[in-house]
A and B are shown apart, each in its own frame.
Chain A
Amino acid sequence: MQKLLNKNISKALFSSVNIAPLVVFRIIFGALLLYGSIRFVAKGWVHELYVAPDFYFGYLGFEWVKPLPGSWMYLPFILMIIAALLIILGWKYRWSCSVYFLSFTYVELLDKSNYLNHYYFVSLMVFLMIWLPAHRKFSLDTYFRPGLRSESTTAWTINILKFQLAMVYIFAGIAKINSDWLMEAMPLKIWLQAHHNVPLLGEYLQKEWVAYVFSWAGCCYDLFIVFFLLYKSTRIWAYTFVIIFHLVTWLLFPIGVFPWVMIFSTLIFFNSDFHQTILNGFRRIMNSFSSIKRHQKPETSKMEGRLSPQRKAWITGLISIYVLLQIAVPLRHVFYPGHLFWNEEGFRFSWRVMLMHKEGYATFFVEDRSTGRMSEIDNSGYLTETQEDQMSTQPDMILQYANYIHEQYQGKTVTYRGQSFTFEDPAVRAQIYVSLNGRPSQLFVSKRHDLTAFTYDLKHRDWIEPFSN
């Protein structure tokens, strides 16, 4: 049994397989990266999200990551656009992937107000791509260095991508197994009814049973789609579902490029014949390219033979670490007490996509300790609309913002009608009400806490008011 397992694992990792799926993935994913980067710049978001704000909500441990001054913030995006082009062409491939990964991840680390699961997904995929030999066929790298060319690759290089996609879907599915989603059809009930003016579909979106069908179907889809994609006999049907599902989400929700990323990434589940056909298609289109390539004799792989047992052990070890991390991170929330959606401890990086509808109203107060007098803070003076919207429902951001206000007022003297006050280590308080998944709003943070007394760390935050259902 042990032996059989070992044999299977070894096969999944080190058997020699056709490289075509990996090459097609490089080209398609590169094109998505290019589209995503250009779209971001074209929408004016570089300025809006990374130049205009006065304050940025950094990630714990990464608060030292700061935006470049002014228009220099366009630099990482220009790098991304160039790198994405080079990834498509397969030129200086590993360098290009590294540049894209570093630029993209740098930008994502600047401000968690802009966190999206699909950005995290892109970071992970590009990170993986650095280590994959996706440039060893149909690329400028092999054109300049024919010795690189290979018709085969070791199986892990493709399977790791399937694994990553499986994590996204399965954890997204597990996250939907909760009473709000299944028993109340929340938040879909709210989101769908708002679309009742959509042509054709519209009138049904207001019906309650439709929200239930969408909720259950969405949950089942996420949980099981990967398994149907893995089997040849169900694959084509499963992929039809992939297209329909993501197109529906694209039509109904402002979810950006995520649907396209998923629709195209899941092509990796198709077999090598399918990808070979695509490659042949590309070849026909790029005639000049093919004339050079055609006469190259396909090599047989020497890859498996080349891998020493030590090297195999290293690869197995590193992959195990990655796999364990990918499973552990989305599950870390079990170590926190209380309601996950309310406290949001262990919420990010866990593939909780389109899962809840949270709306908050946050009033912050800066208190002069010597007189006990308080002033309300005008949040719009410090935060953008997006930042304020995100901050008012997320405890870690509330704490970061409170500390920022403390910094702004520390040592500051204000004079009102002749009365002067100097803030010495002012207290910062907040009164915040939050509505979760359509419930009546309830107190989220009480004014009785001085938020500057708490440190921003990974410990459970007991200053969040308990959630009452």
Chain B
Amino acid sequence: MKINKLAPTFLLLLTTALVIAACKKEDEEGDKSSFDKKALLTNLSENMILPAVNQYNEDVNTLLVDFQDFEQNTTAQQLEIVQESWKQAYLSWQTVKIFDFGPIRDIGMKGATATYPIDTSQVNDNVQSGSYNLASLSNVDAIGLSTVDYLLHRQGALDSLQNNAKVVDYTADVIGKLVDESNTITTEWSSYQSTFNNSTGTSSTSAFSKLINEYNRDFELAKTAKVGVPLGKQSLDVPLPNYVEARYGDLSFDLLRASLVALKKVYNGQSFETGNDGVGMDDYLVHLEENDLDNMIDSGFQEMIDKTDEFSMTLEDALENDTQRMNELYNMLQGQVVHIKTDMTSAFGVLITYQDNDGD
């Protein structure tokens, strides 16, 4: 058997493959433009992540300053100003928390900023004793924006802040920790940005894979923690109001809405500040000829946001009094998870784990 005798056979097979490819191509509309993941990452870090991180940093720093003003001037009016800046910070956090990798993951910021429900007795113990290490694992349920929520909005909050210096100190410390962490990631992100932009590989450690995996995780978190658990989805349909996020300040629906809006904007590659469209996951899907999926995901987000707007009461009240609508919302979230975590992730060819893999 000679190699040159085999050449025609190979040429024939190669031609067959190309003919099939060509036939397939004719079915499609127009020519495919190429797609660059680097453009997606660059757009995202420049126009979404860094502005969001800066906004959050500005907001927590404002919260700190406003609280320091309150310490000088403990009036109900000044407390309202503090509450308002807490609200702004918590809302900006909804975008930042999507990006739980790189600098944010390094300092464990996602868990430290908004873990709920908080352990109120732990908070009260800390306040009483006046000696605590807020960075310790045992205090993970006694810190963050959710703890600030409790300290600023609980019944008799103004009274205790006016008359108990220990409460004021604790609140200042919790806010101070938020500010420190926020300052850290703001600095770190500006140096991490170029690493992020260039890490377009397919291994699970590439920034692109982490982005997609953490994006999925954050959406699931919105589904499970913001809606599912309070609604009783993990407790035999018994609603659990103490699992409502930011329940003292009644901000839960706003946070859910902000989280969905942030996820939608990231998906579409929109600018954090202007909302202008840039290269996003949607464009990648369109490039992969997954237009139907893109439409489903985009409209899915809008439907969920609209659904959230329909409620005319707090989430805590809706658990008991608007159960049907809550369930509808939950089912929408559940359906969307399948689209982004299964369909989108599989279209991108992103790996979830870093084990060896032979594709089965």
Chain A residues whose CB sits within 8 angstroms of the CB of B239 once the complex forms: 417
Chain A residues whose CB sits within 8 angstroms of the CB of B101 once the complex forms: none
Q: Are B346 and A421 in contact (CB under 8 A)?
A: no
Cα A184 to Cα B20 in complex, Å, equals: 9
Chain B residues whose CB sits within 8 angstroms of the CB of A213 once the complex forms: 14, 17-18, 21
| Interface check B313, CB cutoff 8 A | no
Chain B residues whose CB sits within 8 angstroms of the CB of A360 once the complex forms: 342
Which of B34, B342, B356, B360 touches A435 (beta carbons < 8 Å)?
A: B342
Which of B239, B292, B339, B360 lies at the interface centre, i.e. has the most chain A CB atoms within 10 A of its CB? B360
| Interface check B232, CB cutoff 8 A | yes
Mask for B197-230, Cβ within 8 A of A = 1, else 0?
0001111000000000000000000001000100
Given A208-B32, A371-B236, A376-B228, A216–B16 Cβ distance below 8 Å? yes
Q: Which of A68-76, A102-110, A231-239, A327-335 contacts B (4 or more CB under 8 A)?
A: A231-239
Q: Are B343 and A440 in contact (CB under 8 A)?
A: yes
Q: Are B37 and A220 in contact (CB under 8 A)?
A: no
Mask for B324-360, Cβ within 8 A of A = 1, else 0?
0000000000100111011101111111111111111
| Interface check A356, CB cutoff 8 A | yes
Q: Are B24 and A216 in contact (CB under 8 A)?
A: no
Given A368-B236, A378-B234, A416-B240, A256–B349 Cβ distance below 8 Å? no
Interface residue tally on B, bucketed by range: 35 or more
Which of B32, B238, B352 lies at the interface centre, i.e. has the most chain A CB atoms within 10 A of its CB? B238
Q: Are A374 and B342 in contact (CB under 8 A)?
A: no
Chain A residues whose CB sits within 8 angstroms of the CB of B352 once the complex forms: 385-386, 389
Which of B37, B232, B349 touches A197 (beta carbons < 8 Å)?
A: B37
Which of A191, A196, A376 touches B36 (beta carbons < 8 Å)?
A: A196
Which of B21, B22, B346, B359 touches A185 (beta carbons < 8 Å)?
A: B21
**Residues of B248-289 whose CB lies within 8 A of A:** 288
| Interface check B38, CB cutoff 8 A | yes
Which residue of B has the minimal Cβ distance to A215?
A: B17
| Interface check B135, CB cutoff 8 A | no
Chain B residues whose CB sits within 8 angstroms of the CB of A234 once the complex forms: 1, 3, 6
Q: Are A203 and B349 in contact (CB under 8 A)?
A: no
- Judged by DSSP, the binding face of A is mixed
Which of A114, A182, A233, A435 touches B346 (beta carbons < 8 Å)?
A: A435
Which of A258, A417, A434 touches B238 (beta carbons < 8 Å)?
A: A417
Which of B25, B240, B359 touches A253 (beta carbons < 8 Å)?
A: B359
Cα A182 to Cα B345 in complex, Å, equals: 23
Interface residue tally on A, bucketed by range: 35 or more
**Residues of A331-381 whose CB lies within 8 A of B:** 347-348, 352-361, 363, 368, 371, 373-378
Chain B residues whose CB sits within 8 angstroms of the CB of A208 once the complex forms: 21, 24-25, 32
Q: Are A433 and B338 in contact (CB under 8 A)?
A: yes
| Interface check A254, CB cutoff 8 A | yes
Q: Are B350 and A194 in contact (CB under 8 A)?
A: yes
Given A206-B35, A435-B342, A347–B360 Cβ distance below 8 Å? yes
Q: Are B232 and A254 in contact (CB under 8 A)?
A: no
Which residue of B has the minimal Cβ distance to A353?
A: B358
| Interface check B233, CB cutoff 8 A | yes
Which residue of A has the minimal Cβ distance to B203?
A: A254
Which of B2, B339, B353 lies at the interface centre, i.e. has the most chain A CB atoms within 10 A of its CB? B353
Given A213-B18, A220-B13, A433-B338, A354–B359 Cβ distance below 8 Å? yes
**Residues of B59-92 whose CB lies within 8 A of A:** none
Which of B3, B34, B342 touches A206 (beta carbons < 8 Å)?
A: B34
| Interface check A195, CB cutoff 8 A | yes
Which of A117, A220, A435 touches B10 (beta carbons < 8 Å)?
A: A220
Chain A residues whose CB sits within 8 angstroms of the CB of B38 once the complex forms: 197
| Interface check A187, CB cutoff 8 A | yes
**Residues of A250-276 whose CB lies within 8 A of B:** 253-258
| Interface check B237, CB cutoff 8 A | yes
Q: Are B20 and A182 in contact (CB under 8 A)?
A: yes
Cα A374 to Cα B231 in complex, Å, equals: 12
| Interface check B123, CB cutoff 8 A | no
Given A374-B237, A376-B234, A190–B358 Cβ distance below 8 Å? no
Chain A residues whose CB sits within 8 angstroms of the CB of B339 once the complex forms: 441
Q: Are A118 and B358 in contact (CB under 8 A)?
A: yes
Given A209-B18, A355-B359, A231–B238 Cβ distance below 8 Å? no
| Interface check B305, CB cutoff 8 A | no
Q: Are A359 and B345 in contact (CB under 8 A)?
A: yes
Chain A residues whose CB sits within 8 angstroms of the CB of B345 once the complex forms: 359
Which residue of B has the minimal Cβ distance to A443?
A: B338
Chain A residues whose CB sits within 8 angstroms of the CB of B128 once the complex forms: none
| Interface check B235, CB cutoff 8 A | yes
| Interface check B172, CB cutoff 8 A | no
Chain A residues whose CB sits within 8 angstroms of the CB of B134 once the complex forms: none
Chain A residues whose CB sits within 8 angstroms of the CB of B6 once the complex forms: 234
Which residue of B has the minimal Cβ distance to A257?
A: B356
Q: Are A357 and B349 in contact (CB under 8 A)?
A: yes
Cα A419 to Cα B232 in complex, Å, equals: 12
| Interface check A303, CB cutoff 8 A | no
Chain A residues whose CB sits within 8 angstroms of the CB of B109 once the complex forms: none
Q: Are B353 and A385 in contact (CB under 8 A)?
A: yes
Cα A233 to Cα B2 in complex, Å, equals: 7
Given A206-B35, A231-B1, A440-B292, A416–B21 Cβ distance below 8 Å? no
Chain B residues within 8 Å of A, Cβ to Cβ: 1-3, 6, 10, 13-14, 16-18, 20-22, 24-25, 32, 34-38, 200-203, 224, 228, 232-240, 288, 292-293, 334, 337-339, 341-343, 345-360
> Can you list 16 A-B pairs, Cβ within 8 angstroms, ordered by A?
A190-B349, A193-B349, A195-B201, A195-B202, A196-B200, A209-B21, A234-B1, A253-B357, A256-B358, A258-B358, A347-B360, A348-B360, A373-B237, A375-B235, A416-B235, A421-B236
In the complex, besides A191-B349, A231-B1, 6 extra interface pairs with C-beta distance below 8 angstroms are A197-B201, A233-B2, A256-B357, A359-B346, A373-B237, A389-B352
Chain A residues within 8 Å of B, Cβ to Cβ: 45, 49, 114-118, 182-185, 187, 190-191, 193-197, 203, 206, 208-209, 211-213, 215-217, 220, 228, 231, 233-234, 237, 253-258, 347-348, 352-361, 363, 368, 371, 373-378, 385-386, 389, 414, 416-417, 419, 421, 433-435, 438, 440-441
